[in-house]
Structure 1
Amino acid sequence: MSSQTRRFEGYGVLITGAARGIGEATARRLAAEGARVMVTDLDAERAAKTAKDIAGADSTGCDVGDRAAVEAAVGHAVERFGALDVLVNNAFSCSPDTPLLEDQPDETWGRDLDTTLTGAFRCARAALPHLAASGRGAIVNIGSVNAEQDFGNHAYSAAKAGLASLTRTLAGDAAPRGVRVNQVNPGTVRTPSWAGREARLDALARVYPLGRVGEPEDIAAAVAFLASRDAAWITGTTLRVDGGLLAVNTSFADVVEDG
């Protein structure tokens, strides 16, 4: 990155679920633009390994389902960096649906909502005073197209829809303190969770108007924009980064053309 693109010089950033995938790509992108990044993850060992390869990064284990762990992670970031300017809520849980809704156990439903939605709330609650004190605070939540349309996964989708609502209400609450809150809704992204299912990704690429699934770096670029001062007059917004999936029904159009 050139000096002109180091938008996060001197920033302190905390990212949840950052040991791999979208979180890792976001950590690398913000660090490349000058940020000091706290890589947090439920898997503390993996978080440490990821942070070791990122200049200026540190790491700590963090279970977003545990208020004390969240507050400790935020405190560690503030102590390490002297301030906290950006929070990226990326941690999530996505349990497979049961064949029949009535067979879905409370445990999996509760885990998905607690990690994906309430976990983001816990992190925002702990970070907000520090973000307000920084004078340039921003929260970026990682949502999903599942928040807007049916792609399965009842609990995960409900949690991501709730996260979009939290983004809006928190934006209103935080705005008087100078903190912006936005969300990115990715479509299908080639992350480690798809390992062994590359053929499925190739098939999914055909339903995307832009002809491919997303890469973690696509999402990281959107997060970097929303977290930066380039988005200084944007708050309460959900940005789709989905290759046109929700705007264009490619499968329907193909059937019409074939007919």
Structure 2
Amino acid sequence: MKPTDERSHESTDARTGRRLDGYGVLITGAGRGIGAATARRLTAEGARVLVTDRDADRAAATAETLPGARSFGCDVADRASVEAAVAYAVEHVGSLDVLVNNAHSCTPDAPLFEDEPDEDWALDLDITLTGAFRCARAALPHLVASGRGSIVMIGSVNGARDFGNHAYSAAKAGLAGLTRTLSGHAAPRGVRVNLIEPGTIHTPAWAGREAVLDRAAALYPLGRVCTPDDIASAVAFLASADASWITGVTLPVDGGILASDVGLRRAFRGAEL
């Protein structure tokens, strides 16, 4: 078993109060939305962040707003691209202590399941699930070497309950399984692996459909949809030494929707949905 580095159990830097001072972090799909919010939050916590995205210009634009951040165009569907991003992080960020697997694909469902095209199914699984596998495989030796390595997967409530999107949901459910198996493999080597399950998130993908989000908010026990910053806060916790005794878990950040069905409760009371 990998010896414990006592320093990794200190929750904050004594001088700054920032939990991730000196950490090197690689975030996939970080050009906007959850990934960009996570890059901002981890930078504020003292991390040196490598912002990666398939759109290199978008990654660069995000990194330019963050002190000390760098960017890299990375396509998680391509093994060589992933390995190049990891090598760049190690060389230019200085270390690799945290991997945030955020990149995903979500193709729309066909009206009938039997009309679902193979290429949409394959794309969602390749980017969302296999992409996370590629990144974890490339990063793991460096996370082991850091002595405080952590992988945070960004899943979805779609992986735990039916909210539509067959391929996307299957991929996110697969991430939960990968988190469990990889956490058991990596724990003796000093690396933690955890999964966050967000609910509906107000990201740029919802542009022009804000009315849908308003209707969705009414179905969440906490009365609103998620923001990217909600997820970024959870990532910062799981990546830090504050979570040093946590691995292999799924953390819902979902406004309570997996625990309580507000719409059904209202229906039982005869109220408007």
Question: Could you say which residue in structure 2 is the equivalent of 1:258?
Answer: 270
Q: Could you tell me which runs of 5 or more consecutive residues in structure 2 were left unpaired when the two chains were aligned.
A: 1-12
Q: Which residue of 1 aligns with 2:109?
A: 97
Query: Are 1:36 and 2:70 matched, yes or no?
Result: no
Q: Does 1:57 align with 2:69?
A: yes
Structure 1 gap ranges (5+): none
Q: Which amino acid aligns with 1:63?
A: D
1:228 Cα offset (Å): 0.5
Deviation string for 1:135-168 (max 9, x for gaps)? 0000000000000000000000000000000000
SS at structure 2 position matched to 1:10:
coil
1:174 to 172, 180, 186: 186
Residue correspondence of structure 1 range 113-128 to structure 2 within 5 A = 113-128=125-140
Pairs aligned (count): 259
For residues 1-259 of structure 1, what are the structure 2 equivalents within 5 Å? 4-258=16-270
Q: For the residues of structure 1 that align with 2:17 and 2:265, how far apart are their CA atoms?
A: 40
Question: What letter is aligned with 1:12?
Answer: G
How many Å apart are 1:4 and its aligned residue? 4.8
- Tell me, in whole angstroms, the C-alpha distance in 2 between the residues paired with 1:33 and 1:217: 13
d(CA) in 1 for partners of 2:122 and 2:36? 26
2:221 counterpart letter in structure 1: P
| Cα displacement string for residues 148-199 of structure 1 (whole angstroms, at most 9, x for unaligned residues) | 0000000000000000000000000101110000000000011000001111
Q: Quick one: which amino acid aligns to residue 259 of structure 2?
A: A
Give a deviation string over 1:62-92, Cα, whole Å, max 9, x none.
0000000000000000001221000000000
1:118-137 per-residue CA deviation (whole Å, 9 max, x = no partner) reads 00000000000000000000
What is the letter of the counterpart of residue 80 of structure 1? H
> Distance in 2 between the 1:76 and 1:56 partners?
15
Secondary structure of the corresponding residue to residue 204 of structure 1? helix
CA distance in 1, matches of 2:79, 2:212: 37
* CA 1:4–1:253: 2 relative to 1, 3 Å: farther
Deviation of residue 256 (structure 1)? Answer: 1.7
CA RMSD for the aligned pairs?
A: 1.2
Task: Determine the C-alpha separation between the residues in 1 that align with 2:68 and 2:19.
Answer: 15
Moved over 2 A (4+): 2-5
Percent identity reads: 71
**Shift of residue 258, structure 1, vs aligned partner:** 2.5
CA distance in 2 between counterparts of 1:82 and 1:194 reads 36
SS at match of 2:99: strand
After TM superposition, the score normalised by the length of structure 1 is 0.98
TM-score, L = length of structure 2: 0.93
SS, match of residue 83 in structure 1: coil
